[in-house]
Amino acid sequence: MLPKKPLPVFLIVIIDLLGIGALLVVFVLFHHILRLDSSTPLQNIVFNQTPAPTAEATAVLEAEQPSATAEITPTPEPTPTPEPGDFSATFPSDEPVEEGENIIGSYVTDNLRLVVTEEHTDDATYFVADVWIRNITEFKTAMSHDTFGRGYYTMPNSMAEDHNAVLALSGDCYGARTQGIVIRNGALYRDTVSGDVCILYADGVMETYYESEFNLEDAIARSAYQGWSFGPKLIDNGEVPESFNTTDAIIAHNPRSAIGYYEPGHYCLVTVDGRQSGYSRGMTLSELSELFIALGCVDAYNLDGGQSAMMTFDGNIVNQPYHGGRAISDIIYFGGDDVV
């Protein structure tokens, strides 16, 4: 029997490269597409508390105390300062107006007040939810399968139903990207900055940032409570931005989901239907920005739109999603979980 002729060196190299390539494909598939992210938060962000006085400050205070023989003037009891995230002082006490053809519905409890309306322009139909909360914990977010990671997708209305939400809005679909800040209910899950960022702080303030202006450490120090990365930001110093940090396809007429901010504890959720001839064309980003400014918001942020754009209220889909909507990775919701 003749010995086997060895393979040419170049053929061996090609086979090895193909093998390595196959391994890399498998690695990318499982580690960059199918649920790479760990479901464990990188950090749980706590509310800032008033720091305890230092030993030096305590000594100064003790030195300033009057002697036992000195006449002591009674000090009036200070007015309690609300805890961070408590908006009781501004929470409305009146009942929402329920009259008008455009009102879809309202919902009021001791901690939540919201009104949902249907509005129209010449070529767009959109829905506005005016939301008041008494405490920051009433502003909630949920993830598909209640798990952080890529590859988890659920229809927004199904997520809303799973959490018994009164009102829900499609979020930023963080799971479709490998980068971008992800903060949910006080937990930091992803710390890479990519694109414009929106942060809701524990004190109720919502601020949007251009990518170059955002500092995660500062946001954590201020007790970031929710954080989204889709964008772009929609209001710049009270005006429509000169340019938007996104693609032309997103800037054009599209279905939209977005969130606006009035003051701590008072927010505005908007869903715009689109891509449906004779019903609603959608809005450009400039038109969406102008809408939030007209509504009186001081800041606003664009979330995942297109086929993802969906709003639910009282167990029903409020809008008419393009092609029936699609499964996404997360929602914003109110009044859920503990609602009977």
Better-scored residue on pLDDT, 116 or 5: 116
In the chain, helix, strand, coil percent, each to 5?
25, 30, 50
What is the pLDDT averaged over residues 241-253?
A: 96
**pLDDT higher than 50, residue 73:** no
Question: Omega of the bond prior to 232 within 30 degrees of 0, cis?
Answer: yes
Confidence at residue 131, expressed as pLDDT on a 0 to 100 scale: 98
Residue-wise pLDDT tens digits, 82-98:
567 999 999 999 887 76
pTM tops 0.85: no
Confidence band, pLDDT 50/70/90 cuts, at residue 4: low
Cβ proximity of 150 and 310 under 8 Å:
no
Lowest pLDDT segment from 7-21, 173-187, 267-281? 7-21
Half-sphere exposure of 193 (CA within 13 A, CB side): 14
Q: Using CA atoms, how far apart are residues 109 and 134, in angstroms rounded to an integer? A: 10
Confidence at residue 119, expressed as pLDDT on a 0 to 100 scale: 98
Confidence at residue 31, expressed as pLDDT on a 0 to 100 scale: 43
Confidence band, pLDDT 50/70/90 cuts, at residue 78: very low
The dihedral over CA atoms of 25, 189, 196, 268, expressed in degrees to the nearest 10, equals: 130
Confidence at residue 55, expressed as pLDDT on a 0 to 100 scale: 41
**pLDDT higher than 80, residue 243:** yes
What is the pLDDT averaged over residues 257-268?
A: 98
Q: Using CA atoms, how far apart are residues 260 and 197, in angstroms rounded to an integer? A: 14
Confidence at residue 34, expressed as pLDDT on a 0 to 100 scale: 44
Better-scored residue on pLDDT, 57 or 250: 250
Q: What is the percent of the chain where pLDDT is above 90?
A: 73
Residue-wise pLDDT tens digits, 8-34:
766 666 776 676 766 555 444 444 444
**pLDDT higher than 80, residue 338:** no
**pLDDT higher than 50, residue 116:** yes
**pLDDT higher than 50, residue 72:** no
Confidence at residue 14, expressed as pLDDT on a 0 to 100 scale: 76
Residue 203 C-alpha from the chain's centroid: 15
**pLDDT higher than 70, residue 37:** no
What is the pLDDT averaged over residues 258-287?
A: 98
Confidence at residue 28, expressed as pLDDT on a 0 to 100 scale: 44
Confidence at residue 279, expressed as pLDDT on a 0 to 100 scale: 98
The residue type found at 85 is G
Confidence at residue 94, expressed as pLDDT on a 0 to 100 scale: 85
Residue-wise pLDDT tens digits, 281-333:
999 999 999 999 999 999 999 999 999 999 999 999 999 999 999 999 999 99
Q: What is the percent of the chain where pLDDT is above 70?
A: 78
Question: In degrees rounded to 5, what are phi and psi of residue 106?
Answer: -140, 165
Confidence band, pLDDT 50/70/90 cuts, at residue 238: very high
**pLDDT higher than 90, residue 51:** no
Residue-wise pLDDT tens digits, 126-172:
999 999 999 999 999 999 999 999 999 999 999 999 999 999 999 99
Lowest pLDDT segment from 53-62, 177-186, 188-197, 281-290? 53-62
